[in-house]
Amino acid sequence: MAEKATRLGVRLRPHVKTHKCLEAARLQVRGHFGGITVSTLAEAQAFAAGGFGDITYAYTIAPSRVADAVDLARRIDRLSLVLDDADVLAAIEAAAATKGLCLGVFLKVDCGAHRSGVAPDTEDAVALARAIARSSHVELGGLLTHAGQAYRSCNAEEARAAASAERDVLCSLAQRLRAEGVELPELSLGSTPTLCAADDLSGITEVRPGNYAFFDAYQVAIESCALEDVAFSVLATVVGRYPARRTLVLDAGALALSKDAGPTHVDPACGYGLVLSSDGSRRHTSLRVVGLTQEHAELRAAEDADWSAFPVGARLRIVPNHSCLAAALFDRYHVLRRDEVLAEWRPVKGW
Ligand SMILES: Cc1ncc(COP(=O)(O)O)c(C=O)c1O
């Protein structure tokens, strides 16, 4: 991704929400300008303490957290906030004015995910951009979007179309605003599926992919990557075997894998992840994770499964559907080279 950002002529500001740990973020920014994206203020605070000085909190900030953000902004080179609401702008302006600060703010644009962001073709979008640009207590950093809808694509070709749409929505709103004199230093976009597929980001200045640091079963299904590219898995132990019901039970329930339903639009029977051998070298296609309760995973075996390979106590690796969610369930990662544990990394917790 770092090479691709360079090739496409954009700055890489990786989203660290996937792993939430300093060591992984330091690897991601190597050779780039060092900026990162976070999705909680707890991440922002921890990464600031770890030496990251240019942070975008890419989440529409709640007014109750503005004071925390302002406190942090005073301690680092640049903290940028994201908003799509005039009341939030007023709350940020008031807090910044009290502390004598000028805060960087991005206008969040909805490019089709319909989760948050202003609708790009509306007068409201233009009016809010103008209001941010006019303010003396905030500085308009630019426009920011995230093509969450790319997760509904089935393959790389569909993701490439989503990438073009993400770029075009941002560029056309920018053109309209710039035509009336609104300055927009940055146009920032990015999701892992769109950035894996993108081949032209003309007009865009910055990208914020996150999941690519680990990838997962979902990204394999929609062709963002191959299974060999996935860097995150959960090591689990067989705690029950019931050949008569063709069922294995593992000690890795929803609190280990999360309950993300996965890429059911590509494979309705995808279950809750991909099952690998304990060293990660082989996929067990004869096993599917069909059910999860809090600490238990229920695996269904194909008729021809080799039951001698799965005694109670045997270990298996599960590549979860969504590594960002699964990773957030753990208090540490074991960093592996094959079977050797090279390090233990601790993710940030909290909001
Ligand atoms: C605002 C924003 N930017 C960037 C990302 C990174 O997306 P991905 O994890 O698909 O790379 C996310 C992920 O949810 C996001 O919400």
**pLDDT, tens digit, 9 for 90 and up, residues 60-104:** 999 999 999 999 999 999 999 999 999 999 999 999 999 999 999
Rounded to two decimals, the pTM is 0.97
* Cα 207 to averaged position of ligand 1 atoms, centre (Å): 10
Cβ count near 281 (within 10 Å): 10
Q: Residue 4 gets which letter from DSSP?
A: H
* Cα 49 to averaged position of ligand 1 atoms, centre (Å): 23
**Mutation pick for ligand 1 pocket among 1, 11, 12, 15 (CB with most ligand atoms within 8 Å):** 15
In this prediction, residue 194 carries a pLDDT of: 98
Instruction: Give me the chain's average pLDDT, please.
Output: 97
Residue 316 CA: distances (Å) to CA of 121, 255, 276, 282, 334: 50, 17, 6, 10, 15
**pLDDT, tens digit, 9 for 90 and up, residues 312-337:** 999 999 999 999 999 999 999 999 99
**pLDDT, tens digit, 9 for 90 and up, residues 107-148:** 999 999 999 999 999 999 999 999 999 999 999 999 999 999
Residue 38 CA: distances (Å) to CA of 33, 46, 80, 339: 16, 10, 10, 31
Atom of ligand 1 nearest to the CA of 151: 10
pLDDT band at 338 (very low <50, low <70, confident <90, very high): confident
Burial zone of 340 (CB within 10 Å; 0-12 exposed, 13-18 middle, 19+ buried):
exposed
Phi-psi map region of 117: left, alpha, beta (phi>0 left; psi -120 to 50 alpha): left
